[in-house]
Amino acid sequence: MSEGRGAPEATLYRLSLYHCYLGELLRVGAPDRITSRQLAEELGIKEETVRRDISFVGDIGRPGAGYEPEVLYREFTDFLGLTDEYPIAMIGSARMLEALQVVFPSERYGVQPVALFSEIPEDAGTTVGGVSVQHLTDIARIDPDLGVKVALVACSPGWVQITLDLLIGAGVTGVLLLTPVIRIRKPEGMVVTQIRMPCDIKSLACRCQAPAGMFGTAQ
């Protein structure tokens, strides 16, 4: 997997945003060309920032002529170290995993769940999206040939720390954590991105009660 070739973390995030947007365009029918200005306007990012981000990827397109969406998408895919079906693991109850399939149809976004785990013993052996669910303690036995380096974790709070420790032991070094826990002990060598819904809701509630413009516009 690519390590970003020295690109800042903020640039890597925006490149993944461009990648997702181009993927959507290609699914619904992309134009023949797309410019950095169009990308900037669609995503609410400064045009010069878009051009600078793309410069990390390489010499793509011609000045003033824009980019072929399919070519740009492929270049972003290679730079980010992705594949058409990037393998991930997902951890949560079978019911949660099924719900995630509804709100996050992974095949639309270039990822493929190849290993599913639940903290509920009765879930073991059930099938979600064509993949058999294993008990959470089986994370340690993830098949290395699957190439899983990233996991989506949505288990109950009491299992989060155990899950993170098992994942790092299995060679998974990136986690998107959806479970609303505030404090975790991040294993050494692991990158964890947390979605802190309770905090986000409280922040949003505060913003909605404040006078217009007091906090500016969220980016």
Task: Measure the CA–CA gap between 98 and 122, rounded to whole angstroms.
Answer: 15
Average pLDDT (53-65) is 81
Query: Quick one: 108 and 192 in the same domain?
Result: yes
- Total structural domains in the chain? 2
CATH number reported for the structural domain that contains residue 59 in this entry: 1.10.10.10
Q: How many CB atoms are closer than 10 A to CB 187?
A: 17
Query: Quick one: 117 and 189 in the same domain?
Result: yes
Residue 86 is assigned to a structural domain of this protein: no
Query: Quick one: 25 and 50 in the same domain?
Result: yes
Task: Measure the CA–CA gap between 123 and 134, rounded to whole angstroms.
Answer: 7
Domain boundary among 50, 79, 108: 79
CATH number reported for the structural domain that contains residue 137 in this entry: 3.40.50.720
Query: Quick one: 58 and 122 in the same domain?
Result: no
Residue 209 is assigned to a structural domain of this protein: no
| Cα distances (Å, whole numbers) of residue 51 to 14, 64, 110 | 11, 11, 24
29: confidence class by pLDDT, cuts 50, 70, 90:
confident
Kindly report the pTM of this predicted structure.
0.74
Query: Quick one: 110 and 41 in the same domain?
Result: no
Sign for the CA dihedral angle at 157, 159, 162, 168 comes to: negative
Residue 204 is assigned to a structural domain of this protein: no
Residue 207 is assigned to a structural domain of this protein: no
1: confidence class by pLDDT, cuts 50, 70, 90:
very low
Query: Quick one: 187 and 151 in the same domain?
Result: yes
Residue 31 is assigned to a structural domain of this protein: yes
Task: Measure the CA–CA gap between 106 and 90, rounded to whole angstroms.
Answer: 11
Residue 30 is assigned to a structural domain of this protein: yes
- DSSP annotation of 211 reads P
Query: Quick one: 73 and 102 in the same domain?
Result: no
Query: Quick one: 142 and 166 in the same domain?
Result: yes
65: confidence class by pLDDT, cuts 50, 70, 90:
confident
Domain boundary among 58, 79, 100: 79
Query: Quick one: 96 and 193 in the same domain?
Result: yes
Residue 84 is assigned to a structural domain of this protein: no
Domain limits for position 102: 92-199
Query: Quick one: 57 and 96 in the same domain?
Result: no
Please state whether beta strands 127-128 and 131-135 pair in parallel, antiparallel, or not at all (unpaired).
antiparallel
Query: Quick one: 129 and 39 in the same domain?
Result: no
pLDDT in tens, 153-188: 999 999 999 999 999 999 999 999 999 888 899 999
pLDDT of residue 219: 45
Domain boundary among 56, 79, 102: 79
Residue 178 is assigned to a structural domain of this protein: yes
For the chain, the average pLDDT equals 88
Average pLDDT (120-138) is 95
Query: Quick one: 119 and 189 in the same domain?
Result: yes
